[in-house]
Structure 1
Amino acid sequence: MLRVASFNINGIRATHRRGFGDWLEQRDCDVVALQEVRCPVDALPVGAFRGYHASYDPGSLPGRNGVAILTRTRPVAVRTWNGAAYSVEAQHLWTDQPTATELQTESVPLARELRPFAMEGRYIEVDLADRPVTVASLYLPKGGLPSDLQRPGRMREKPDGGARYARKMSFVKGFQRQLGASRRAALRSGREFLLVGDLNIAHGPLDVANWRRQQRSEGFLPQERAWFDQQLGPRRLIDVMRQLDPDVQGPYTWWSWLGRAFENDTGWRIDYHLATPTLAHSAVTAVVERETHRAARRSDHAAVVVDYDLR
C-alpha cells in the first residue's frame, strides 16, 4: 500500500504550532506533498519533518509559496523549474534541528509561459526510491477576475484590469505542456505519474458550495474549468477523489477563515490527486481530513489522503 497526502499548510511555522507534527506522525503516510510552506530553509521549525526526508523548493519570494515532498527514503531523482532545491534530512526527534543541503536538481523543461514563475517555488517532482511512481507537488496561482467582471466596491482586492487573471491563464497554458511532458517522461521510464496539490480551481458544480453563484468568481470561471477538463481523460490523468466518489457534493478542501464558512461547510474542493490511469484505478480509499471544529484547524486547507494498492 502507498499512502500519499497532499496538504496546503499555509505556512509551516504557523501550522507547526497548530499541531502539524502530531498529524504527520499519526497519519503515517509514505509520501506527503506540501504547498505554501512559506519558509526559508534556515528558518524551518525544529522537528518540522520528523521521520521524513524532505525535497524542498522554498522559492525566492519571502513569506510566499514554497513546495516540498516528504518521503520515508531519499528519492532517486528530484526535478524543479529552476534546477535547484534543498534536501532536508530525516529527523528522528522533535528536538532535532533540520539539516539542509542544496541540491543541483534535474531541470524540468519549461514552456515559455512558465519562465516568469521558475523562481517562485510552485512545482517540484520526485521519483520515489521504493515504488515505480513519480510524484509532483503543485501550487497553482490563485489568479483574479477578467477586467469585464471587475466591479470597484464589490471586490476585496483592488481592481487590476485583469492582470492577475491573465497571469494565471498564462501559467495554465504553459503548465499544460509541461504536465504532458512530465507524465509522458514518467511513463517512458516505467513509472506512474501523480500530480497533487492546490490547483486553485474547482472543477465542477460538485466541487464548490453554491456553485451557481460562484460562476463569476475566480477559481470557478468557465475558462478555468475548461482548462481543467483538458487535463483529464482515460489516457491522460484521472481525478482520484471524483473517481471514488463520483456523485458526492465535495468533499471540500478549503474554507475561508472569514465568517462561518468552515462551520457551515461552504467550501471549495481545490486540492487534488490527479493520477495516470493505472495508478488511479489502484486507489482504494480517499479521505479529506477536515478537522472537527474551527479551533482544531491547522490550515485553511484540509489534507487529502489517498491509499493506493500497487500490488
Structure 2
Amino acid sequence: MPQAKPLRIASINTNGVRAAYRKGMGDWLQTRDVDILAIQEVRASTEDLEGLLGPDWNILHDAATAKGRAGVALASRAGASIHRVAFGAEEFDSAGRWLEADYEVDGQLITVVSTYVHSGETDTPKQIEKYKFLDAMIARLPELTEHSPLALVLGDLNVGHRTLDIKNWRGNKKHAGFLPEEREYFDRILGAEGDERYNAGAGLGWVDVGRKWAGEVEGPYTWWSQRGQAFDTNTGWRLDYHLASPELAASVLNYAVDRAAAYDQRWSDHSPVVVDYDLSGAKS
C-alpha cells in the first residue's frame, strides 16, 4: 500500500452497516479520506459490504456464527498480504469478533485488528463469554507485537477503562462495561489509573491512543444510549479504542472522534474514531 501521506485508520461500530448507509455513513466515508476502515457489528453479508463500499475497497469480513449478529470487517485501499481470524481456545466461538490483517505501507508491515468485544451482562453466561474473550485477547496481544512492532487493535471494546471514560461512572460500578473485573483487564494492557507508567510502558506496554491524545479529560465519548437525551447531554461512554504498540503510538499525528452535529444526524449509536499515523519514521 504505497503511502505518500500519513496513514488514516478509522474504526466504527455501525450497529448494522446497511442501516448506517441508509442514514448517511457513505457520505461520511466519502469526505474522510480513510485508508483502512475497521467495522464492527456489520450484521450483513460480504456481498452487502462490497455493494455498499464499492469497488475501490478491498474487503475482509468475518461474520458471526449467528446470522445477523456481530460481524467484523477490515476495508482498505489496497489488499492485505495475509489475514487471520483464529482466536482463543478451539471450543470458544469468536466468529465475528476478531479479524487480523497485515498491510505493507511504505515498506513497513503494520498489523491491524478489528474487534468487537461482547457487551456482557452482569451475573449471566453472557458475562462469562466476555471474560473468555478478554482472556484470549490478553494472550494474543504479546504475540501481535512479536509478529509486528507496528500493531493496532481497534474497535468496540465494550469496557470503559477509567472514570474519565464514562460520564455516569458512579451509577455504573455494578454494570457490565464498567465492572472492576473488566477494568482490570485494561490495567493489565495499559497500566492502572494512578500508575506513573500508565499508558507509557506499564502492563503489556500498549498505548490507548485516545487517552494519550486527549489527556486527563472526560471522554471524548464514542457511544451514547439511544434512550432519553444521552446524546444531547453528552452522557456517554468511551468504548471505541485504538490500542497501539509503542512504536506505532509514537507515530500518531492526529486523533478525532467524529461526533455528529445533532442527534438526528447520527447514523450509528457510536461515533467513528479516526487516527492519522506517520509511518515514515516508525520502526518495524
Bucket of the pairwise TM-score, normalised by the shorter protein: 0.7 to 0.9
Cα-to-partner distance string for 1:28-65 (whole Å, 9 max, x where unaligned): 11111100000122444733345221111122211111
User: Distance between the aligned counterparts of 2:36 and 2:26, measured in 1?
Assistant: 15
User: Distance between the aligned counterparts of 1:262 and 1:226, measured in 2?
Assistant: 28
CA-based RMSD: 1.6
What's the counterpart of residue 280 of structure 1? Answer: 249
| Structure-2 change in CA distance of 1:218 and 1:47 (3 Å) | closer
What secondary structure, in the 3-state scheme, does the structure 1 residue paired with 2:28 have?
Answer: helix
1:116 lines up with 2:74 in the alignment: no
Equivalent pair of 1:67/1:138 in contact (CA under 8 Å): yes
1:169-208 equivalences under 5 Å are: 169-187=131-149, 192-208=150-166
**Consecutive unaligned residues in structure 2, runs of 5 or more:** 1-5, 191-198
1:1-311 equivalences under 5 Å are: 1-44=6-49, 46-49=51-54, 51-81=56-86, 110-112=87-89, 115-118=91-94, 120-130=95-105, 131-146=108-123, 162-187=124-149, 192-232=150-190, 234=201, 236-311=205-280
- Partner letter of residue 117 of structure 1? D
**Consecutive unaligned residues in structure 1, runs of 5 or more:** 82-109, 147-161
**Could you tell me how far 1:182 is from its partner in structure 2?**
2.2
Instruction: Tell me the TM-score normalised to structure 2 length.
Output: 0.88
From the CA coordinates, give the structure whose radius of gyration is larger. 1
Cα-to-partner distance string for 1:91-133 (whole Å, 9 max, x where unaligned): xxxxxxxxxxxxxxxxxxx432x74223x21111111132421
User: Distance between the aligned counterparts of 1:282 and 1:129, measured in 2?
Assistant: 16
| Structure-2 change in CA distance of 1:286 and 1:127 (3 Å) | same
User: Distance between the aligned counterparts of 2:84 and 2:168, measured in 1?
Assistant: 38
- Partner letter of residue 169 of structure 1? Y
What secondary structure, in the 3-state scheme, does the structure 1 residue paired with 2:38 have?
Answer: strand
What secondary structure, in the 3-state scheme, does the structure 2 residue paired with 1:129 have?
Answer: strand
Instruction: Tell me the TM-score normalised to structure 1 length.
Output: 0.80
User: Distance between the aligned counterparts of 1:45 and 1:144, measured in 2?
Assistant: 33
